[in-house]
């Protein structure tokens, strides 16, 4: 047996032992890809276990994240802070080795993977971030940003639609430092994939403008090494290395079969596998010489030290560039940015205008964009409707990546997952836009941003039946509630230009929470506010109009319905009622405020409440109570001009007044 195979067998042994101890997991993929991983991680991957966040490290993504014991074994053997006891706690509560790789749980994990196809899309985002950052900051003789992104993926990733979207764009953008390894083992959970997956994957990726290396023996270290060097030599195209492997390699009775895909091998089969592999050690036992050959600590320290020397030279020759790059890599905003947001909101309040909030969003980008080199935006083929193409936007293409704007094409899901990869890479504030309705195509990537605590900014326009004639296929109804119900996601639906500016400021300043900025197609009248109300917008909900003394009724609204609430309150006041209007641009942020503040805005003693929003009505009963009233949607929309639709669905001042009077008795 070769020494390399012996080192790869350490991965196989740890993987089958951990899955067996947990009585749950996927041993087949780690055992099948162990030889590929050994060559990549020991000979080519540029990383430092002593500093997992070193800026110029190569990124590694296990897109087929169900095979998580592969990456846990690699991290442990290489010297990351992941002990053998951590491996023994595989899939257990609060362990550093959850069932799928989770960003933030384990040092060296670059992204959460498991929802198949999203890992390769994240990797594409990382490779894009590297290319753009290098184009913006590298100078002749100073390749300060220069690393690869490697991804492992399987049949499941390639069958998921997102891989078609994302990989197509990667080829168009010429991401030459992206190298993906396809684990072509012919097996998925249901058995041999030839019954449901007969794509010519090589031709597919060649049509995407990828460099494809076919028929590599995934158990031959020399063939794997040759393929990696061919891939690294091509700086103009991303590379797909198609590796022929045997799932569960080494298992006498289960290798090559679906029985080793998603279930433990069993004690007897593990014993037989140890014998076949010549691995004469007990469970979780790794000999000292294997650890010594696997450790990347000294090599990692050396490669980072070399980069640090280059950084000093770069900093001396280009001090301003170096300071800006350092600021961005550290995720720091310009020191006066928070005040800039406040000042801009004050200027808008002093100079009223009534634009659609999508136009107000563009104005905010034009205000903040010149001050923020880290903004990396885009739209899913709707820039003219989403209004994300601000004055300083410069498109990125295969030949010039120095810009700050990505034309994503009609790829909402890929765009959102790529944004997550950009954000995870560091150095950027990523935003991307589509219609609110088509958030549904990207839903799982939005959820992953929230799960990973990545502050991507999802811009959604055409936010309600107010988009009009395009009809119910394009009119969102339940989407706002969907976003608001997602943990760790701040959804903003501003009512005018001032609230829009504050929402953008909050999204840009967020560090651990993604934001959904939801904007209107139609114009919005600007509301009057004093200075205290201006300050309170950032709290997510605030008293916009008040009465003397204790209110009899509270009207709560967002977005285009805030003005309906204000007009209805004026009519109710004329009738002699005491009414408070609360603008609630972000329920998520409002709920993060102190109990005292929330009580000030929505005093518990005022039980008569009405909510007005052109979205699904059910969401609002948490604020108005079961005996309150909601003026909203209970069905899908219709095709007609916006004004007619508001009348048809009774989202009007008149209906609000009538519903309020019914509550008031």
Catalytic residues: 412
* Count of other CB atoms within 10 angstroms of residue 164: 18
- 185 assigned binding-site residue: yes
Closest CA to 248 of 528, 438, 27: 27
Query: d(Cα 476, Cα 158) in Å, to the nearest integer?
Result: 30
Tally the C-alpha atoms within 13 A of residue 290's C-alpha that lie toward its C-beta.
24
470 assigned binding-site residue: yes
Question: Is 114 a known ligand-binding residue?
Answer: yes
Torsion of CA 402, 406, 407, 411, to 10 degrees: 150
- Side-by-side strand order, sheet with 542-545: 542-545, 579-583, 553-557, 609-616, 629-633
C-alpha 646/C-alpha 640 separation (Å) is: 10
Q: Is 116 annotated as a binding residue?
A: yes
Q: To 10 degrees, what angle do helices 319-329 and 118-137 make? A: 160
358 annotated to bind ligand: yes
Mark residue 77 as left, alpha or beta (left: phi above 0; alpha: psi -120 to 50; beta: remaining): alpha
CA distance 25 to 590: 40
On whether 261 is known to bind a ligand per the annotation, the reply is yes
Tokens standing for 622? Answer: 């948490």
Residue 53 annotated as part of some ligand binding site: no
- Interior angle at CA 290, CA 286 and CA 292, nearest 5: 120
Q: Which residues contact 525 (CB under 8 A, 6 or more apart)?
A: 354, 496, 563
Cα–Cα distance measured from residue 142 to residue 148, given in angstroms and rounded to the nearest whole number: 17
Extract the tokens encoding 250.
């080494």
3-state helix, strand, coil in the chain (%, to 5): 50, 15, 40
Beta strands across the sheet bearing 149-153: 59-62, 149-153, 178-184, 239-244, 211-217
Residues forming a β-bridge with 433: 379, 459
Burial track 277-293 (b if 16+ CB lie within 10 A, e otherwise): bebeeeeeebeeebeeb
* Residue 609 marked in a binding site: no
Q: Is position 577 annotated in a ligand binding site?
A: no
Gap between the Cα atoms of 407 and 410, Å rounded: 9
Q: How far is CA 228 from CA 43, 92, 211, in A?
A: 10, 35, 12
Q: Which two tokens stand for residue 489?
A: 């996601």
The answer to whether the CB of 126 falls within 8 A of the CB of 55 is: no
d(CA 145, CA 326): 12
5 is in an annotated binding site: no
Q: Tell me the C-alpha to C-alpha distance, in Å, between residue 354 and each of 63, 256, 496.
A: 46, 65, 7
CA distance 11 to 70: 7
Residues facing residue 554 across a β-bridge: 580, 609
Task: Tell me if 443 is assigned to a ligand binding site.
Answer: no
Task: For 610, list phi and psi in degrees, rounded to 5.
Answer: -135, 135
Of 462, 458, 431, residue with least CA distance to 446: 458
Flag whether 385 is marked binding: yes
DSSP letters for 360-390: HHHHHHHHHGGG-TTEEEEESS-HHHHT---
Number of alpha carbons in the 13 Å side-chain half-sphere of residue 185: 31
Given the structure tokens 């000979």, which residue do they identify? 43
Q: Greatest CA separation found in the chain?
A: 91
Task: Give the residue ranges of the annotated binding site for Mg(2+).
Answer: 155, 185, 187
Task: Give the residue ranges of the annotated binding site.
Answer: 26, 66, 114-116, 155-156, 185, 187, 261, 358, 385, 438, 462, 470, 474, 521
Task: Give the residue ranges of the annotated binding site for thiamine diphosphate.
Answer: 66, 114-116, 156, 185, 261, 438
Task: Give the residue ranges of the annotated binding site for substrate.
Answer: 26, 261, 358, 385, 462, 470, 474, 521
């Amino acid at each position: 047996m070769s020494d390399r195979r012996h080192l790869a067998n350490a991965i196989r042994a740890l993987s089958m032992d951990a899955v067996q101890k947990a009585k749950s997991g996927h041993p087949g993929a780690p055992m099948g890809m162990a030889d590929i991983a050994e060559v990549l991680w020991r000979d080519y991957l540029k990383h430092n276990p002593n500093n997992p966040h070193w800026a110029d490290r190569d990124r590694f993504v296990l897109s087929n994240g169900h095979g998580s014991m592969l990456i846990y074994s690699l991290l442990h053997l290489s010297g990351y802070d992941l002990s053998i006891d951590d491996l023994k706690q595989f899939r257990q509560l609060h362990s550093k080795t959850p069932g799928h790789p989770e960003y933030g749980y384990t040092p060296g994990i670059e992204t959460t993977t498991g929802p198949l196809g999203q890992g390769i899309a994240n990797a594409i985002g990382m490779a894009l971030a590297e290319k753009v950052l290098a184009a913006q900051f590298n100078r002749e003789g100073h390749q300060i940003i220069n690393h690869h992104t490697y991804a492992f993926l399987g049949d499941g990733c390639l069958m998921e639609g997102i891989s078609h979207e994302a990989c197509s764009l990667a080829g168009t953008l010429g991401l030459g430092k992206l190298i993906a390894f396809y684990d072509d083992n012919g097996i998925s959970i249901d058995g041999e994939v030839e019954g449901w997956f007969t794509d010519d994957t090589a031709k597919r990726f060649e049509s995407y403008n990828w460099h494809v290396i076919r028929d590599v023996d995934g158990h031959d270290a020399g063939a794997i090494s040759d393929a990696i060097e061919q891939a690294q030599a091509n700086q103009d195209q991303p590379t797909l290395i198609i590796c022929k492997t045997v799932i569960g390699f080494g298992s006498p009775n289960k290798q090559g079969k679906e029985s080793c895909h998603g279930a433990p091998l069993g004690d007897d089969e593990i014993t037989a596998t140890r014998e076949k592999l010549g691995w004469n050690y007990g469970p979780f036992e790794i000999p000292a010489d294997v650890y010594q050959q696997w450790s990347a600590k000294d090599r990692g320290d050396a490669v980072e030290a070399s980069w640090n020397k280059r950084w000093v030279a770069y900093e001396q020759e280009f001090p301003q560039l170096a300071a800006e790059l350092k600021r961005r890599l550290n995720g720091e905003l310009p020191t006066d940015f928070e005040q800039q947001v406040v000042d801009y909101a004050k200027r808008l309040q002093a100079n009223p205008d009534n634009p659609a909030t999508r136009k107000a969003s563009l104005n905010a980008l034009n205000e903040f964009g010149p001050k923020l080199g880290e903004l990396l935006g885009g739209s899913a083929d709707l820039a003219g409707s989403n209004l994300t193409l601000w004055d300083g936007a410069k498109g990125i293409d295969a030949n010039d990546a120095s810009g700050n704007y990505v034309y994503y094409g009609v790829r909402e899901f890929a765009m959102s997952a790529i944004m997550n990869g950009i954000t995870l890479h560091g150095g950027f504030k990523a935003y991307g836009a589509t219609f609110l309705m088509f958030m549904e195509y990207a839903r799982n990537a939005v959820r992953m941003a929230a799960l990973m605590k990545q502050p991507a900014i999802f811009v959604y326009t055409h936010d309600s039946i107010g988009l009009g004639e395009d009809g119910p296929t394009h009119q969102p109804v339940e989407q706002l509630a969907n976003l608001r119900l997602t943990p760790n996601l701040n959804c903003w639906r501003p009512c005018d230009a001032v609230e829009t500016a504050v929402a953008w400021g909050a999204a840009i300043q967020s560090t651990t929470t993604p934001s959904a900025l939801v904007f209107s197609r139609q114009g919005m009248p600007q509301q009057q506010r004093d200075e205290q109300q201006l300050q309170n917008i950032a709290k997510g909900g605030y008293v916009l109009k008040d009465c003397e003394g204790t209110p009899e009724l509270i009207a709560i609204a967002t977005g285009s319905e805030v003005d309906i609430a204000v007009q209805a309150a004026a009519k109710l006041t004329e009738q002699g009622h005491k009414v408070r209007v609360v603008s609630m641009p972000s329920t998520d942020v409002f709920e993060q405020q102190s109990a005292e503040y929330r009580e000030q805005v929505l005093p518990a003693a005022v039980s008569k409440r009405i909510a007005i929003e052109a979205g699904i009505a059910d969401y609002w009963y948490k604020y108005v109570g079961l005996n309150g009233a909601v003026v909203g949607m209970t069905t899908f929309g219709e095709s007609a001009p916006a004004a007619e639709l508001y009348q048809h669905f009774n989202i009007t001042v008149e209906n609000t007044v009538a519903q309020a009077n019914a509550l008031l008795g």
